[in-house]
Structure 1
Amino acid sequence: MIEMVQYNYIRFLYFNKHKSQRAIAKEMGIHRATVKRAIENPEQKYHMNVERDKPVNGDFEKRIKHLLEYNSNQPKNQKLTKRRIYELICEEGYKGSYSSFTYQARKIEEKLGINQKEGFLKLVPLRGSMQADFGEVYVMQDKMPRKIHVFCAKLCYSKVEFVKAYPGESTEFFFDGLTSAFDFFGGVPKKIIFDNLKPAVKEVLTGRERILQEEFVKFQSFYCFESEFCGPAKGNEKGMVENLVKYVENNYFLPRVEFKSFDILNLELKEKCHQRLKKGRYEGESWEKRILDEDFLPLKERYVYARIKEAKVDTYQLIHLEKNRYSVPTNYVGKKVEIHIYPFKVKVIYKGEVIAEHERMFGKNKESLNPYHFLPLLRKKARAYEQAKVIQDWGLPQIYEKYHKMLQAHLNSDSKGTREFIDILKLTQQYTVEVVAKVLKELDEKNRYSYQEVLSVLRYQTQHKPKTELLSEEKLKSLDVDKHTTTYMSLSTYNELLRKVGCENER
């Protein structure tokens, strides 16, 4: 091909100086066909009249096309890179260079529309619409990183945000996150946009069709909102909440915060959401003002959900749940019970009655032992008291151990002393460990050791109410009490005072 300068000069000589094609070719030392092409084409383009042979790519063009088509239909995490496709095709006998292969691949992709960039439209946010999703962040617990999940919700119109942390993304956490967001916003959005979360979507069909989880359908019918689900790998369809997840990770959890408990962390996150609500502005208006213009459904009641599992109580009075163990009372050993799993608590139910309630534990090989579940059994097996794990883990004040030893010595029997002491421990369920500890200290100072003594003092302190009340200053003056200056008074004087009080009451 000729250079642009030569192309321009040929057209100058022909159209401006009116020279013939032969003269121009002779002057410039080029072929007349080149001169003719330059004159006939206003733009400098080289058109191949005969297609050249492709000695390297020709035999593999169909194979390359097949591999590219197949690769484009694979999930994102299973797609092959160009380098890997090149290596595979080289194993089949391809002799071309990597640049020759990528040149051919780009031509095929352009022809088939593979890797075509997607266009987007700006949308006007609707009042009463919300986007919700989970994100993953890391915190420090006992100097070790721990992964937790944050539920994020953002109103499309007012831009108000809500964030809450959970140990997982299962159904109970998902529903609790939504109901907590409704409480924070003061209403239920009419439309909520979700990703294809497992607690909500059972199966993804073609297009926008979804088979929903039965529990999610119950939840949706309770609040009556419309649900919309994004297409697979279409995070841009809920870009607001995707950006919120990134913001939360970068601004709330970096550098990594020290994790104490979910209660403390969620109080801090809620306070941050309140601060953002007060300071946030969009298009010149505050978030506080814009949220008043949202179109919400009324929030009347709170949906309470618990995931239910069945379990059998083992001989150690324990039920097993998520690789952890929870205690139940002795008389339920060997029975099948229902476990109601809430986000942060566990209830054990037998024939419709709650028989045990625990804080939910996360992790592995942990035990939640309620001492009061084991006291009846310990009373029967008094010799096991000292070695019982539940007693060692209870952490009772030192006065309990001292009173136990003194009670055994007073009764001259270890087993009888232990049984009577266990009866005293049962009182802590009603009167608290601290109150009973004060009574034990008082009785120990007086060398009084028995269950009846402890019970008597507790009843006196909690049930005794003085029947007499102090007289007012006016009544004391009316009774002429100030006239009696001696410390000794006769019985007749007392009788006279009582008579006057009776007359005053009759009036």
Structure 2
Amino acid sequence: MSKIRKILRMYSQQRPIMTIAAQTDSSRNTVKKYLAAFKASSFTFEEIDALNDKELEDLFGKSKEHPPTSRMQSMQRCFPQVDKELKRTGVNRYMLWESYRKEFPDGYQYSQFCFYYNQWKARVNPTMHMDHKAGDKLYVDFAGEKLSYTDKDTGEVIAVEVFVAILGASQLTYVEAVPSQQKEDFIAACENTLHFIGGVPAAIVPDNLKAAVTKSSRYEPTLNETFEDFADHYGTTILPARAYRPRDKALVEGAVKIIYTKIYAPINRVTYHSLKELNTGIWEALETHNSQLLKGRNYSRRLQFEEIERHTLMPLPVLLYQFKKHFYAKVIKNGHVNLGPDKHYYSVP
């Protein structure tokens, strides 16, 4: 709007169109278009300059655009399904365009189909830059804000960590309150997530917390031995996000922001007296969240998961993971080592 005001001001000062175009960094045709609209309005420059930005936009902006045709509307109705199908392995835009042309023989050509699809996707979900394949990655992290419950006997308010996991393709989300961010609680929450979704993804993407990564590195991070053993048990891979690169885990970062509204808000209205009660309340709110229709689409996270992602997950092993603890002990003079947790001495060669 400020550029339009500048064009009209320079025109009122009787500057040539070439000079106006050069000084406003506009093409001559753009300048001519605004000047033609100005002349057709029958207003003086002072009257135009007195308008606010909204009134100026109504006069010179996009208000004269034509409404979408039925042909365009038919194509746009296909885009939510196109967006869902593209998450399947082996499906590409050309295959979906061919299906679209079979249903609408007078529809748009492939290049226009892709152009309008990109416009639709940018409008519906403007922050999404990655296309996630079904069954590919599970993103996990801890929320920054804690939840709490009140001990019924002592009245003590006990703060707990909140674990969040989200599947890349369907965006099915899992949330659980755990006592701490220690590896035992972290791995137990990861295991509960796999049983919640009923399968194992190709990779788990954690942040660089100590329970997952012993030493962070841009190229060769050192994984926590127990977490790596957990991944081997379930037949998946650990792909830690790069340190100081929040875009690597933008999906779970976004999920954390969403659960502050969808889960924290209803949870904080109720007083819970145990971790089990708190998790029961979390899972009730979580089911509502996963069953809610996604904005601009005619399906929910749960429906999308059941349709495109559940069958792509690897099956769960028969047995649960058993923790293997590692200890370092010095051999004392009598040829034994003392293991602290079980208070026993063991002989060594």
What's the TM-score once normalised by structure 1's chain length?
Answer: 0.37
Alignment partner of 1:130 is 2:144: no
**Mapped partners of 2:252, 2:130: distance in 1:** 15
CA distance in 2, matches of 1:179, 1:236: 25
Correspondence list, 1:411-422, <5 A: none
Q: CA deviation at 1:183?
A: 0.7
Equivalent residue of 1:189, what SS? coil
Instruction: Look up the SS of the partner of 1:126 in the other structure.
Output: coil
Name the structure where strand makes up a greater proportion of residues.
Answer: 1
Counterpart amino acid of residue 313 in structure 2: F
Matched, 1:218 2:225: no
Distance 1:350 1:250 in 2: 50
Aligned counterpart, 1:298: 315
Q: Would the aligned equivalents of 1:139 and 1:256 in 2 still touch at CA under 8 Å? A: no
Distance 1:233 1:215 in 2: 24
Please show how residues 153-164 of structure 1 align to structure 2 within 5 Å.
Answer: 153-164=165-176
Question: d(CA) in 2 for partners of 1:189 and 1:246?
Answer: 23
Aligned letter for 2:261? N
1:247 paired residue number: 258
Of residues 227-236 and 196-205 in structure 1, the stretch that sits farther from structure 2 once superposed is 227-236
User: Separation in 2 of the partners of 1:44 and 1:337?
Assistant: 80
Question: Structure 1: which 5+ residue stretches go unaligned?
Answer: 16-37, 46-118, 312-334, 340-347, 353-507
Match of 1:199 in 2: 211
- Corresponding residue for residue 454 of structure 1: none
Taking a change above 3 Å as real, the CA distance of residues 205 and 263 of structure 1, as seen in their structure-2 partners, is: same
Q: List runs of 5+ in structure 2 lacking aligned partners.
A: 1-8, 25-125, 330-336
Tell me how far apart the structure 2 counterparts of residues 265 and 44 of structure 1 sit (CA, whole Å): 63
Alpha-carbon distance in 2 for matches of 1:288, 1:230:
26
SS at match of 2:239: strand
User: In the TM superposition, what is the alpha-carbon distance from 1:266 to its structure 2 partner?
Assistant: 2.0
Q: For 2:190 and 2:298, how far apart are their aligned partners in 1?
A: 29
Residue 200 of structure 1: how far off its partner (Å): 1.6
Over residues 41-64 of structure 1, what are the superposed CA-to-partner deviations in whole Å (9 max), with x where a residue is unaligned?
Answer: 97459xxxxxxxxxxxxxxxxxxx
1:304 is paired with a residue of what secondary structure? coil
What SS does the corresponding residue of 1:199 show, helix, strand or coil?
A: coil
Note if 1:233 corresponds to 2:244: yes
How has the CA–CA distance of structure 1 residues 189 and 4 changed in structure 2, closer, same or farther, with 3 Å as cutoff?
same
AA of the residue aligned to 1:252: I
8 Å Cα contact 2:213-2:222 kept in structure 1: yes
Aligned partner of residue 192 in structure 1, secondary structure:
strand
Aligned position for 2:81: none
For residues 126 and 197 of structure 1, what CA distance do their matches in structure 2 show?
25
Q: Indicate the residue corresponding to 1:35 in structure 2.
A: none
Question: Would the aligned equivalents of 1:190 and 1:296 in 2 still touch at CA under 8 Å?
Answer: yes
Which has the larger displacement, 237-246 or 143-152? 143-152
1:168 aligns with 2:186: no
How far is the alpha carbon of 1:213 from its aligned partner? 2.1
Q: Select the structure of larger CA radius of gyration.
A: 1
Q: Which has the higher contact order (CA 8 A, sep 6+)?
A: 2
- Checking the alignment, whether the CA contact within 8 Å between 2:140 and 2:164 is kept in structure 1 is yes
Pick one of 133, 150, 165 that aligns with 2:162.
Answer: 150
CA shift, 1:146, in A, is 4.1
User: Residues 279, 131 of structure 1: CA spacing in aligned structure 2 closer, same or farther, 3 A cutoff?
Assistant: same
Could you say what the CA RMSD is over the residues aligned between the two structures, in angstroms? 3.7
One-letter identity of the residue aligned with 1:264: E
- Give the CA deviation at 1:141: 2.7
**Whole-Å separation in 2 of the counterparts to 1:43 and 1:147:** 62
Alpha carbons of structure 1 residues 285 and 256: separation in structure 2 relative to 1, 3 Å:
closer
Q: Per-residue deviation at 1:306?
A: 5.7
- Whether 2:275 is the aligned partner of 1:265: answer no
* Offset from partner CA, 1:19-74 (integer Å, 9 cap, x none): xxxxxxxxxxxxxxxxxxx8xx97459xxxxxxxxxxxxxxxxxxxxxxxxxxxxx
- Please give the secondary structure, in 1, of the residue aligned with 2:134: coil
How far does residue 257 in structure 1 lie from its aligned partner after superposition? 4.3
Q: Specify whether residues 121 and 166 from structure 1 end up closer, same or farther in structure 2 by C-alpha distance, changes over 3 A only.
A: closer
* Contact kept? 2:203, 2:238, Cα under 8 Å: yes
1:279 Cα offset (Å): 4.3
Pairing of 1:185-196 with structure 2 (within 5 A)? 185-196=197-208
> Where does 1:48-63 land on structure 2 (aligned, <5 Å)?
none
2:147 alignment partner, SS class:
strand
CA 1:7–1:160: 2 relative to 1, 3 Å: same
Offset at residue 170 of structure 1 (A) = 0.9
The code of the aligned residue for 1:238 comes to: K
- Alpha-carbon offset, residue 203 of structure 1: 1.9
Identity of paired residues, percent?
24
Q: How many residues are matched?
A: 218
